[in-house]
Amino acid sequence: METVILGTGNSQEMRIAIDQAVDQLERGSIVGLPTETVYGLAADALNADACATIFEAKERPSFDPLIVHVSGEKMLNNVAEIPDEIADVTYDLIKEFWPGALTFILPKKEIVPDIVTSGLQTVAVRRSKNKIFSEIVNSLESPIAAPSANRFGSISPTSAAAVFTELSGKIPLIIDGGACSEGVESTIIKIEPSQKKKPLIKILRPGPITPEMLKKFGKIDKHQHSSEESSSLTSPGQLDSHYAPNTPLKILNSPEEFDFNPSKKYALLSYRGQKKDGYLELCDWTHIETLSPGSGKLPEAAVRFFFSLRKLDELGVDEIISEPIPERGIGFAIMDRLKRASYQFS
C-alpha cells in the first residue's frame, strides 16, 4: 500500500487534508493524525473492524487498550459513565484541562467495542486540543480511537516524517500538522472516591499535565503499576520496556558512572548542553543532541525528546548515553519515558 502524506501549510491544503482524513475514517480506514502530544494512528472508535486494523498495523498486542478521543462532553457521555462519587472532581478537571493532554479512565458504555478496551470494563478518554484533530473528530461525529502512531514498543512519533518511518506501506494516509507542541503522551489518570475530603487521583502514566498541576484537585498517587500488576490488566500498556530505540541506551545518573570502551562509538543526549554538568567532555562523542540549550527548560526538552532520541538512534553508534532529566514538572514524564526506553539495556 502506498502511504500518502498531505500537508496543511495553507487553508486550502488544510481543507483537503481534513476532508480526506474524514473520508478515510468514514470508510473504516486508519489515518496518521497530529495531536498536541504525539501523532496518533486513528480509526472510528465505534467501528470494531477499523480498530482491529490499528492493532495489525502497529503489531500491537490485543491486551493493550486504545485511547478514545472525543469532541466534547456530549461525546464523552456517549462512550463513558461518570460515576456520581467522582463526578465533581471529573468535571472540575475537564473544565481546567480539556481540550488537552489529560486522559481519564472511566467505566465504559456498551457502545464502545470490546477490541478498543481490550475487554476491560473501563475506557480511556481524552479531548485533543490540536486544531486539525479537533476538526476531524467534529466532522466525523464519532469518537476516534488513536494510540501513538508507532510500531509497538518503539519510539513515539512527534512529526509526520516519523510516522512515515514507522508505518509507511501499512497505512494509506498521514496528515502533516507539523511538530507536536507538547512532545510526550497525555497524562493518564484514574480517580478513586475517598471517604476523606479529597478524592485520590492515580497517575497511571505521567505526561504534560503534571502532579503539581493536579494536586489541588485531589490526593495524588504517582505510583505506577509494575509489569506484574499490568498483567492483571489495571494498566496494561505501562510495560517496563517501551519507547525503545534499536541502539542500546543508558542513563548515567552521574558522569562518574561512565564505563568507557575505546572501541565503541557513543552519542550523548544532553539536557542543557552545559560543560559544568560534567558530561560533554567524557569522551569524543560522535554526536551530542541537546534537549534545551542554555539554562534548561523542561517543556522545551519534552518537545524535543522523542525527536532527539529518534535522531540519535539513526546515527549508527554503539551506545546512546543520556544525562538524567530533573524530575519536576513535565521532567517527571520525560524521565518515565527515558527509563522505559533504556530498560531492556540495563
| DSSP calls for 76-126 | HHHHB---HHHHHHHHHHHHHH-SSSEEEEEEBPTTS-HHHHTT-SEEEEE
All cell numbers assigned to 51: 480498530
Scan residues 229-248 and list those touching ligand TXA (CB under 6 A): 235-238
Using CB under 6 A as the binding rule, whether residue 82 contacts ligand TXA is answered as no
CA distance 320 to 337: 15
Q: Per-residue x/- mask for Mg ion, residues 130 to 159, rule CB under 5 A? A: ------------------x-----------
Closer CB to ligand TXA, residue 301 or residue 317? 301
Task: Identify which of 7, 11, 25, 19 has the alpha carbon closest to the alpha carbon of residue 172.
Answer: 25
Check residue 187 for interaction with Mg ion (CB under 5 A).
no
**To the nearest whole angstrom, how small is the minimum distance from the Cβ of residue 65 to Mg ion?**
11
Which residue's CB comes closest to ligand TXA? Answer: 237
Q: Considering the complex, what minimum distance in angstroms separates the CB of residue 147 from Mg ion? A: 5
Is there a contact between 95 and 152 (Cβ–Cβ < 8 Å)? no
Q: H or E element: which one contains 190?
A: strand 187-192
Q: Which three cell numbers stand for residue 23?
A: 473520508
122 lies in the binding site for ligand TXA (CB under 6 A):
yes
Contacts with 276 (C-beta within 8 Å, 6 or more apart), sequence order:
none
Nearer to Mg ion, 63 or 91 (CB): 63
Tell me, by CB under 6 A, how many residues bind ligand TXA. Answer: 28
Q: Given the rule CB under 6 A, which residues bind ligand TXA?
A: 35, 37-38, 40, 64-67, 101, 103, 105, 117, 120, 122-124, 146-148, 185-186, 188, 204-205, 235-238
Q: Given the rule CB under 5 A, which residues bind Mg ion?
A: 148
